[in-house]
Amino acid sequence: MDVRTQILAAALRAFAAKGYEATSLADVASAVAVRKQSLLYYFPSKEALRQAVLDALLARWNEVLPRLLLAATSGADRFSATFRETVRFFAEDTDRARLLLREILDRPDAMRGELEAYVKPWVSVVAEYIHKGQAHGEVYPGVDAEAYVLCVINLVVSGVATAASLSSALLPPRAGQPGPAVRCQQELMRIARSSLFTGVADGAAPARSEQRRRTGRTRPAPAPPRDARPAPHAANGSAPSKRRASDDDPRAPRERAAREARR
């Protein structure tokens, strides 16, 4: 690792642990075992160092996301791959999440430009996939795509940044289960996935209505109740005539004759 990369790594750790204001260039130089003047050769000011740390952090993520989206073949695949990589990106170095959370809280105006430049483009891409999933019946129609992505980002960044402190106090270990950090990551994945996809728990397959749409199959119409079915027709297409009970009475001819005589 060259000196410039070492300085960036040390600054990331220091800014994440103590914040930008409480970190001095001398602190960073001491962590790398170089003189302050050597640090200023690579970064002429503390603000330039901060900007370089943020650019390196966010640019690396922007290199990863397009590859994931291109490799995935379905909306569910894209979601799973993107979410897992987001969690992995911050979990493999939790100082990344801590730094972003500090900067968002301490320097919101300065971070707005960073977020618009690096994060907003891929938020729009993921939101577009959510809209397509809604059109296909795979995603809940009430999901606000852009707000959903923002909430997931907040869950991941704040969750990873605070997991060590919170889990040590609130999440005791369990026999036969992974550590607290992994358990939190798995639960984040479940929450994000189950609140997005319809019909299936893991978002791995489209809803049944979408499967029927793709195959052209529809459910057969239910049969009407027995008492609601129309009476069968005669062979010539006309409805059968109703017979009076008196037509079969043997007294009927005599009664008709008597009526004729009275006339």
Note if the pTM is more than 0.85.
no
CA distance 115 to 48: 18
Q: What is the reported pLDDT for 79?
A: 74
Q: Residue 121: which pLDDT band, with cuts at 50, 70 and 90?
A: confident
Which 3 state secondary structure label does DSSP give 197? strand
pLDDT confidence of residue 174:
85
Is the sign of the CA dihedral 232, 238, 244, 249 positive or negative? negative
Q: What is the pLDDT of residue 70?
A: 59
75, 139 contact by CB (below 8 A): yes
Domain boundaries, the chain: 1-44, 52-171+178-215
pLDDT at 250: 54
CATH class of the domain whose range is 1-44: mainly alpha
Q: What is the pLDDT of residue 111?
A: 92
Residues whose CB is less than 8 angstroms from the CB of residue 148 and which lie 6 or more positions away in sequence, other chains included: 127, 130, 195, 196
Q: Which of 126, 123, 120 is nearest to 69 (CA)?
A: 126
Q: What Cα–Cα distance (Å) separates residue 236 from each residue in 74, 82, 232?
A: 57, 68, 11
Does residue 130 contact residue 148 with C-beta atoms inside 8 Å?
yes
Please give the average per-residue pLDDT across 239-254, as a whole number: 52
Amino acid at 226: R
Residue 118 pLDDT level (bands cut at 50, 70, 90): confident
Q: What CATH class is the domain 52-171+178-215? A: mainly alpha
pLDDT at 226: 53
- Note the pLDDT tens digit of each residue in 10-62: 999 999 999 999 999 999 999 999 999 999 999 999 999 999 999 999 888 77
Query: What are the residues whose beta carbons fall under 8 Å from the beta carbon of 70, sequence distance 6 or more?
Result: none
Contact 21, 15 (CB under 8 A): no
